[in-house]
Amino acid sequence: MQRGNLSAVSEFVFVGLSDAPEIRLLLFVLFLLIYLATMAGNITLLIAISTDSHLHSPMYFFLGNLSLLDLLCPTITVPKMLGALLLEHKEISFSGCLFQHFSLIAVVGTEIFLLAVMAYDRYMAVCHPLRYPSIVSTKLCAQLALGTWATGLLNSLLHTSLVFTLSFCGPNRIQQYYCDLPPVLALSCSSTHSTELVILVVAGVLGSGACVVTVASYICILQEILARKSPGIWHKAFSTCGSHLAVVCLFYGTTICTYVRPSSTYSPHWDRVVSMLYGMLTPLLNPIIYSLRNKEVKCALKRVISQVRRAL
């Protein structure tokens, strides 16, 4: 089937965040600063992990993957939003919307699976410290990372193919600042019930599986802590798992509010606020959370910053 038979819409138009010129300029400056800070934080963390030998361990390998995802997530959506705020260029082609949708769902899915893998890594580190180096080997880390990326891409391919093979023959104004799933589905002139059902089932199975792994890992960690009853065990466990647990809560909280609900509950204004929390603030806060709670990361970041200063 050719695209012309599937859709009469050649482009979509973002509603955006505000039509008032003075508000648009203020929002442009604010979101540009947040985006630059996100890029700087995650790039610095990636450099620290790749160059500091103290951070060449499974936990930081997965953290590097998380930082890469946090670089990609805002880069998919924010530049287009900034262009709409500054230049009022709110149009996006059908193929551009398809690519943006595919990329965003792939990043979201990959991050869900990666957080589950990181939870398993923390479980092995706390509950099986002596066997940890032999079990969580370099080969296993590479296989787990590759598996998370592959699953995220395949999940996104399914979602995107289901959505963009629908017919779009009426309004083309997306009630969002990027091509997100609920507002795009709302524009289809086809029946979306079966598509929504498949998406909810697939996302529910995969998302629930990743969530179960994450929760089960922390239940086992809690049981291990209670069983040992050794002095200082709570502080040691929190220093090991606290950063990841904070990131998990932040990620799942914003993602569930954005995606895990039927389209009948879709609210454009609420969704724009929540999507900003997920798409912009979460990638900004993740490197800060890991930097504040981890002495090794803080020391590595200080070394990177001092090297940059000497180079300048």
> What 3 state SS string does the chain have?
CCHHHHECCCEEEECCCCCCHHHHHHHHHHHHHHHHHHHHHHHHHHHHHHHCHHHCCHHHHHHHHHHHHHHHHHHHHHHHHHHHHHHCCCEEEHHHHHHHHHHHHHHHHHHHHHHHHHHHHHHHHHHCCCCHHHHCCHHHHHHHHHHHHHHHHHHHHHHHHHHHCCCECCCCEECCCCCCHHHHHHHCCCCCHHHHHHHHHHHHHHHHHHHHHHHHHHHHHHHHHHHHCCCCHHHHHHHHHHHHHHHHHHHHHHHHHHHCCCHHHCCHHHHHHHHHHHHHHHHHHHHHHHHHHCHHHHHHHHHHHHHHHHHC
Give the range among 60-64, 93-97, 179-183 with minimum mean pLDDT.
179-183
pLDDT tops 50 at residue 1: no
Q: Is the pLDDT of residue 38 over 90?
A: yes
- Percentage of the chain with pLDDT > 70? 83
Distance in angstroms (rounded) separating the CA atoms of residues 196 and 103: 19
At 224 the pLDDT is: 83
User: Which residue, chain included where needed, has tokens 């220093």?
Assistant: 239
Contacts of 159 (CB under 8 A, 6+ apart): 101, 102, 105, 181, 199, 202, 203
CATH of 15-259+272-303, one of 1.10.3720.10, 1.20.1070.10, 3.40.50.300, 1.10.238.10: 1.20.1070.10
Which is more confidently placed, 36 or 233? 36
Confidence of residue 3 (pLDDT cuts 50, 70, 90): very low
pLDDT confidence bin for 117, thresholds 50/70/90? very high
Model's pTM, two decimal places? 0.85
What is the pLDDT confidence band of residue 188, given thresholds at 50, 70 and 90? confident
Least confident of 162-176, 247-261, 282-296: 247-261
pLDDT band at 24 (very low <50, low <70, confident <90, very high): confident
Among the listed residues 299, 207, 307, 311, the one whose alpha carbon sits nearest the alpha carbon of residue 252 = 207
Nearest to 147 by CA among 117, 172, 127: 117
Q: How far apart are CA 289 and CA 247, in angstroms?
A: 7
20-34, 55-69, 105-119, 120-134, range with the lowest pLDDT: 20-34
Q: Are 297 and 273 in contact (CB under 8 A)?
A: no
Q: How do residues 148-169 score in pLDDT, each as one tens digit? A: 999 999 999 999 999 888 888 8
pLDDT of residue 264: 55
Residue 306: φ, ψ to 5°:
-65, -35
pLDDT value for 267: 59
Q: What percent of the chain has pLDDT over 90?
A: 26
The CA distance from 179 to 90, in Å, is 12
* Average of per-residue pLDDT values in the chain: 82
Residues sharing a CB contact under 8 Å with residue 162, sequence separation 6 or more, in sequence order: 195, 198, 199
